[in-house]
A = this chain, B = another copy of it.
Amino acid sequence: MRHRERASYERATVNAILDEALICHVGFMAEGQPYVLPTTHARIDEQLYLHGAAANHMLSSLANGAPLCVTVTLIDALVLARSYFRHSMNYRSVVVLGAARAVTDPEEKGRAMHALIERVHPGRSALIRPPTPQELDVTTVLALPIEEASAKIRTGPPIDLEADYARPCWAGVLPLELKGGTPIPDARVPPGLAPPREIAAWSRKPRSRS
């Protein structure tokens, strides 16, 4: 299966994968133990902003510019082969290495929060109450420059051993899709107020399907 995998350092490829992933996994060390925590991220140009549990946990480790790793993974398809070891998944993943800084400038923090909302919910920032200075002040946002980054991608059908193709066994690719179901309003939404079209039709489709 390694024949169908390729590495890429091209910025457009790296950015597209970062922008499509709903969450990232952040790895860092604390007292000799590696931790990996899920968190949300948004990219603005060549900065990757992190917000959420991982950002909070990492703040103490960050004071000394400790190294970290941010990884995102998109699973595009299950790859079904004719033997155990040729089973695989089609995926696109990105690894970003570096050191983060805590964002303290309120304007930069506001831009990062805007990007975090708009990336997952296009158009939503216009509908909701904007952040107050106090809210921004108590919020942790980290910034990581996207300098040392690489993408890894697998596409295409299974690659079986020649002798195994005679096996009367279905083999191929099952594309996976992350889809939104039926939106569930909370108890305080006024009756008759329908969800915006961006929510009702939300879907994050894999771009490379086969």
Contacts and interface: CB of A to CB of B under 8 A. Distances in A.
Interface of A: 22-23, 25-29, 32-38, 40, 53, 67-71, 73, 75, 78, 80-85, 87, 89, 91, 93, 95, 97, 113, 117, 120-121, 124-125, 127-131, 135, 139, 152, 157-158, 160, 164-165, 167-190, 193-196, 199, 202, 209-210
A185 B29 CA distance: 44
A123 to B, nearest CB: 12
A131 B69 contact: no
A195 B183 contact: no
B139 A85 contact: yes
18 contacts: A33-B69, A35-B97, A36-B69, A36-B95, A37-B95, A38-B73, A40-B89, A83-B130, A87-B121, A128-B169, A129-B164, A157-B186, A170-B183, A170-B189, A172-B195, A174-B199, A177-B179, A184-B209
Q: How many chain copies? A: 2
Classify the interface of chain A: helix, strand, loop or mixed.
mixed
A184 B172 contact: yes
Contacts of A185: 170-172
Contact of A168 (B78, B168, B190): B190
A25 B36 contact: yes
Contacts of A127: 169-170
Contacts of A89: 22-23, 40
Contacts of A82: 128-129
A135 B193 CA distance: 59
* Residue of A28, A37, A178, A196 with most chain B CB atoms under a 10 A cut-off: A37
A147 B89 CA distance: 28
Nearest to A206: B181
Contact of A80 (B95, B124, B210): B124
Nearest to A196: B170
Contacts of A130: 83-84
